[in-house]
Homo-oligomer: A and B are copies of this chain.
Amino acid sequence: MSSNLIYVIGAGGLAMVFAFWKTNWIEAQDEGTDRMKSIGKSIADGAMAFLKAEYRVLAIFVIAVAVILGIANNGRADSSVLISLSFVVGAVASGLAGYLGMKVATKANTRTTHAARTGLASALNVAFTGGSVMGLSVVGLGVLGLGGLFMYYTNLYGMEAENMPIVLNVISGFSLGASSIALFARVGGGIYTKAADVGADLVGKVEAGIPEDHPLNPATIADNVGDNVGDVAGMGADLFESYVGSIVGSMVLGSSILVASGFDINFVILPLFIAAAGILVSIVGTFMVSVKEGGDPQKALNIGEFGSSAIMIAVIYFLIQVFLPESFMQAGEKFTSMGVFYATVIGLVSGLGIGMVTEHYTGTGTPPVMSIVKQSLTGPATTLIAGLGVGMQSTAVPILILATAIVGAHYFAGLYGIAMAALGMLANTGIQLAVDAYGPISDNAGGIAEMAGLPKEVRERTDKLDAVGNTTAAIGKGFAIGSAALTALALFAAFMVQTGIESIDISKPMVMAGLFVGGMLPFLFSSMALGAVGRAAMAMIEEVRRQFRDIPELKKALDLMKGKDEKDWNDEERSDFEIALGKAEHGRCVEISTQSAIKEMVLPGILAVTSPVIVGFIFGPETLGGLLAGVTVCGVLMAIFQSNAGGAWDNAKKMIEEGVTINGETIGKGSEAHKAAVVGDTVGDPFKDTSGPSLNILIKLMSVVSLVIAPLIA
């Protein structure tokens, strides 16, 4: 089958061609008015400026780690200096995927706004196409990179059983590269977006009393840039990491399987073929997302997402039948190919299940969100307590699903089954990510409509687009957390295979100590992320206040807005206001967000990368195993808790803003309850967009670091 690997490469290439084609299509769309163009350009420039600054720092990090990896693995029989090559390729692939996705997302936003001037359907089309470029770039580069490296290394070392440890060890460098970039993209992007958001809201909306996304607010552009760097590039890097990690994890575990004739390479390459097939299914899925004018956009996205999941199950069944023998031995136990199929399906279904629970706890109008709305009547304190309670409670069912998935997948196909479950969740990442990235593009489109002063119905259409994406986004978040957990466990199992340790016994005090310290890391990591957002937001607040105070045109315009209704302005006032619109120094705010994010991402990054190395080298693989178990369990719990609390506060606020009736009394914008809900939402913002999602990366990264250093500490 190995000669067929060219099909894998082909599928990766096809994804890139598809992404290129869709990019061209996006570029051919109309950008709208000059004002829209200029706003769009500011956002695109800001986003690129951040990427450049981020990649400059990352380049140093990547080179340094590559050199260290090379030195550490030089002249060893069980590993190779080539791991540095994989690492660099993985890092570049992740960086490139982020670059391509964001480049097109910042083109699609203005074009979505323009399309929304004529109708909802065409706007959906532009936004979703923009998202699909991100989705296909991620899976395309992942499959190209892994497939290409695997072909190269097997040519070099051979494809026999005895070559697999070294081949897969050098391959794991790719996963490490992807994880490293993901960490900084998620943490840096998360800090960027929330600093800008909190800064823009607190001074603009609360202090100055001007609407969201108003062009007078100097933090507005930074806020919109943040949606791109956080929700597009950050989310993309996160899923890229999971995707690659689950493939690598299953390849490593596949290499330890024996059939009647001994080793069977098909178990190792099956994950690559499933991923390749997933690309084709995702491309088919993008064509299923279409809506006529007046049709239901939610339905269109659902058809794309669930339809492609169904096709994926059929394709996986077919591939497993073709690739795997009817039965095989793993760690002394007998399993069947159908068992592998069941394990994969368990993964996919669990992902959907966790997604649906996420929707239950965070969706508009659901009982948990309503409970927060009710508590907002008695002020911010009770709103906060209710939201924290909802977030904690929301961990219960996802964890039970996850526990069942672990036990079920293992029952059907051993450790290989757990890895395949992760892969099953991630097989159609292409379309999943397209739907995820569609959200921030619509969000941006709304911001541009507001800033460009377009008619109200344009904003209403983009808001509708945005709302439609919410349910699918909630499911996407569930997928991201669930797949992170299973991927981490797959990498964890792969780590055990590579180190050759047989058990991780928590009755040993060193392992128990590792478990405690590992469990503590997500708390420490979250506190760093929250602290970073706080400091960055404070810098932003001071800058916006300074501009409102020191730029006379801005000050005048703000006073005018406060003093008189717009329709009563005279011509001079109107012209002064027009002049003021160009005076806000957006660039300064973009710079502050960029600098803060870059500065603040370093410490948590170092914590994540170095702790497994330190523990592994000083205390050995079993203690490191305890550390990984602790970080995975607490990381998943804290991620679910923070993401869902944040999501629930967000929608509780949105419900009140749309007006909601409780005990016969209608509460809406401007009420005391609304103010309380805004406090909840502001607390929830860094929870759900910075500290929570960063933990997904933390758990995978620490596992992959351990996997990479496995031969060195075994």
A524–B398 Cα distance when bound, in Å, is: 12
A14–B94 Cα distance when bound, in Å, is: 71
Q: Is the CB of B382 within 8 A of A380?
A: no
Interface centre among A375, A505, A526 (most CB of B within 10 A): A505
Q: Can you name the residue of chain B whose Cβ is closest to the Cβ of A640?
A: B523
Give min CB distance, A349 to chain B, whole Å: 17
Give min CB distance, A520 to chain B, whole Å: 4
Size category, A interface = 35 or more
Q: Is the CB of A392 within 8 A of B527?
A: yes
Identify which of A158-166, A510-518, A546-554 touches chain B: A510-518
Q: Which of B537, B636, B679 contacts A516 (CB 8 A)?
A: B636
Q: Which of B410, B507, B626, B686 contacts A493 (CB 8 A)?
A: B507
CB-defined interface of A364-392 with B at 8 Å, one 1/0 digit per residue?
00000000000100111110111011111
Give min CB distance, A693 to chain B, whole Å: 16
Contacts of A714 in B (CB 8 A): none
CB-defined interface of A635-670 with B at 8 Å, one 1/0 digit per residue?
011000100000000000000000000000000000
Contacts of A396 in B (CB 8 A): 520, 523-524
Given contacts A381-B679, A506-B625, contact A524 B407 (CB under 8 A): no
A685–B409 Cα distance when bound, in Å, is: 43
Q: Is the CB of B531 within 8 A of A389?
A: yes
Q: Can you name the residue of chain B whose Cβ is closest to the Cβ of A375?
A: B534
Contacts of A520 in B (CB 8 A): 395-396, 399-400, 637
Q: Is A53 an interface residue (CB 8 A)?
A: no
Total identical chains: 2
Contacts of A493 in B (CB 8 A): 507
Q: Is A402 an interface residue (CB 8 A)?
A: yes
Q: Is the CB of B506 within 8 A of A381?
A: no
Q: Is the CB of A524 within 8 A of B403?
A: no
Contacts of A626 in B (CB 8 A): 506
Q: Is A538 an interface residue (CB 8 A)?
A: yes
Q: Is the CB of A496 within 8 A of B503?
A: no
A381–B682 Cα distance when bound, in Å, is: 6
A581–B538 Cα distance when bound, in Å, is: 47
Contacts of A489 in B (CB 8 A): 512
Contacts of A409 in B (CB 8 A): 509
Q: Is the CB of A381 within 8 A of B625?
A: no
A-B contact pairs, 18 of them (CB 8 A): A198-B381, A381-B682, A385-B534, A386-B534, A388-B683, A399-B517, A403-B513, A403-B516, A406-B509, A493-B507, A496-B507, A502-B507, A505-B506, A506-B625, A507-B625, A630-B633, A633-B634, A679-B679
> Across chains A and B, which 10 residue pairs bring their CB atoms closest together, nearest first?
A381-B682, A403-B513, A392-B527, A410-B509, A393-B527, A389-B530, A399-B520, A503-B505, A392-B523, A519-B633
